[in-house]
Amino acid sequence: MQGLSAAPPAAFLNLLLLPLGALLLPAAAAPGAERELNPSSRLAAGTARLALHYLNSREASPGALQALGQVRKATLKSIPDSGHKYYLQFTTEDYKSGENTGSCLATVLYLKTKSLPVVNIKCTRTKDQNQIQEEDNRLYQKLRHQTKPIIGNNIPDSYGNIEPALEPVWALAVVGSSYIMWEKSTENTGYFMAQVKSAKQWIRKDDFIEFDYTVLLHEIPTQEIISCHMRLTWLPGHPLKVKYFCASENQKVEDGSGVESGSAAGILHERGANF
């Protein structure tokens, strides 16, 4: 039986066809001035996608994962002594099926300092909370009752397919990678999770699910592939715990961080995390 297709969305492929001018930062605006952006521009789509990375990592729910549908409206405001603030309206899709899941309003502030982007996002969904919780519980039960640890490689495969037995492993990797992609994204650099290169489950005596992952992130617009090692611990209804470090194609370690995310926790930074 053929598993889930994980081919990149059309919006991702369209990025590769954009002219060079669309890949550059916007011209400096007068302090406090606002201007409309082309909703199909890389800046608008990349910032909307960053807001969803933030949301997906905070919700820590495979059943609630959302991908960007279409940006409807985008406005840029220059904030004196702070940075650029984006105001966005966009639709969303289910991360697995690609079906419409609702719409979001978001603001993203890129600070002039090296601080992380400041995100505020509110979404309306077609999927209700009970359905999301049921999906999370089914996924959890599949992983929790493993007598032997799950080990997987190259998810999806070279044809873009995922074996049904590995779909929960892939979904958890997307949740954890969302935090990495939010933390690493900037105003002119964004990320997609291209593949789970390897995954290994650790059988625990408590109720938590734990995995070690190596994930490959596709950096836009550089087209560079970033390899990240990630240790993830998850239990439905509890904060997601992630530690990671990343290296570029030349295997130079770039950075590492730790996070506890979800509705009940804030962020803990642990640079240079060891595994």
Domain ranges in the chain are 4-125, 135-261
Q: What CATH number does the domain located at 135-261 have?
A: 3.10.450.10
The Cα 71–Cα 65 span in angstroms is 18
How confident is the model at residue 96, as a pLDDT? 85
How confident is the model at residue 263, as a pLDDT? 35
The Cα 2–Cα 200 span in angstroms is 22
The answer to whether 210 touches 232, Cβ cutoff 8 Å, is: yes
How confident is the model at residue 114, as a pLDDT? 76
Low-confidence ranges of the chain (pLDDT < 70): 1-32, 248-275
The Cα 191–Cα 6 span in angstroms is 16
The answer to whether 65 touches 175, Cβ cutoff 8 Å, is: yes
Give 251's DSSP letter.
-
Give this prediction's pTM.
0.80
The CATH number of domain 4-125, selected from 3.50.50.60, 1.10.260.40, 3.10.450.10, 3.30.70.260: 3.10.450.10
Tens of pLDDT along 85-135?
999 999 999 998 889 999 999 999 999 887 899 999 999 998 889 999 999
